[in-house]
Every structure is written in structure tokens, then in C-alpha cells.
């Protein structure tokens, strides 16, 4: 009751994205919504976040190893959390970006990877090691 409902939190996702952009200059927030016929307010579909400090950290110090994975979310927005995992100079996991999407499929992975490639300035993947479980859209 103190923190409000999950549905109320999703209704503030635009405020959350704007706050990240104001307080973390250089970060990327991409929000995708749709409007159902007859409705006025848009409905949340996808959210991608990449913080600038993490972007810079990867470019300046991480090995060219990129792992990709997704997991289920079990709240009002029954979707998937897509994420990247990299290896830092201490051989520790290092996350740069994540996305909350409606499902794990080719379309959502392409959307996530296009945004990630722009953020990390990956023009081609030559010389990079890619790790995935080849699930739903990553094949």
C-alpha cells in the first residue's frame, strides 16, 4: 500500500525514462508504446535503458565478449527482461543495457541489439565473442 500497485508504477514509466535522461546525461532510454483502437492513452510495450557511465566503461575497459539472455517477468506486464552480459578487466560480469519487452522473439531481440549496437558503437561484430542460448529469436 505504501509503494502503490505495479500498475501505477507502469503508468509512470515515462517519468522514469525522463528522469534517467535528466540525471544521467548521455544515457539512452527508448520507450515503445501502442494505442488500441478507441483508447486515448498509450499502452506500454517496450523499454530499453543504457546508462552512459556503463557505456563508457565498456568501451574503455571491457573485453570484446558479449553474452545475451532473457528471463520472464511475472507481474502486470507479463513479458521478458532482455539483457547483455560482458566481461570486465577483472573477469567479472558487467551489464550495460537491459530491456523490458512483451516477449522473447526475433523482433524484440533485433530491436534490443540494434539499440545496443548504436550505444556501444559496434559497426561489425568481427573480433567479438558472442554467447547465447539460441532461444526464441537469437537463432
DSSP 42-96: -EEEEEEEE-HHHHHHHHHH--SEEEEEEEE--SSS--EEEEEEEE-TTS-EE--
Assigned domain for 27 exists: yes
Angle subtended at Cα 30 by Cα 137 and Cα 8, rounded to the nearest 5 degrees: 100
> What's the confidence (pLDDT) of residue 21?
94
Q: Please indicate, yes or no, if residue 21 is contained in any of the structural domains.
A: yes
Angle between the 52-61 and 106-120 helix axes, to the nearest 10 degrees?
70
| Residue 59 within any structural domain of the chain | yes
Q: Does 61 fall in a domain?
A: yes
Domain count, the chain: 1
Residue 137 lies in a domain: no
pLDDT tens digits, 18-71: 999 999 999 999 998 888 888 777 777 899 999 999 989 888 888 788 888 888
Q: Where in the sequence is the domain holding 98, given as residue range(s)?
A: 6-131
Residue 1 in domain: no
Q: Which cell numbers in the block locate residue 16? A: 522514469
Please check whether residue 138 lies inside any domain of the structure: no
Residue-wise pLDDT tens digits, 106-131: 899 999 999 999 998 888 777 888 88
Amino acid at each position: 500500500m505504501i509503494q502503490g500497485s505495479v500498475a501505477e508504477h507502469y503508468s509512470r514509466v515515462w517519468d522514469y525514462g525522463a528522469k534517467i535522461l535528466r540525471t544521467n546525461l548521455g544515457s539512452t532510454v527508448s520507450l515503445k508504446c501502442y494505442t488500441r483502437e478507441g483508447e486515448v492513452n498509450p499502452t506500454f510495450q517496450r523499454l530499453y535503458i543504457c546508462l552512459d557511465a556503463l557505456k563508457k566503461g565498456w568501451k574503455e575497459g571491457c573485453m570484446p565478449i558479449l553474452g545475451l539472455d532473457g528471463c520472464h517477468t511475472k507481474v502486470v506486464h507479463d513479458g521478458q527482461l532482455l539483457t547483455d552480459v560482458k566481461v570486465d578487466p577483472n573477469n567479472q560480469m558487467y551489464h550495460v543495457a537491459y530491456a523490458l519487452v512483451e516477449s522473447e522473439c526475433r523482433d524484440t531481440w533485433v530491436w534490443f541489439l540494434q539499440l545496443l549496437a548504436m550505444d556501444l558503437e559496434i559497426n561489425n561484430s568481427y573480433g567479438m565473442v558472442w554467447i547465447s542460448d539460441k532461444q526464441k529469436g537469437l537463432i
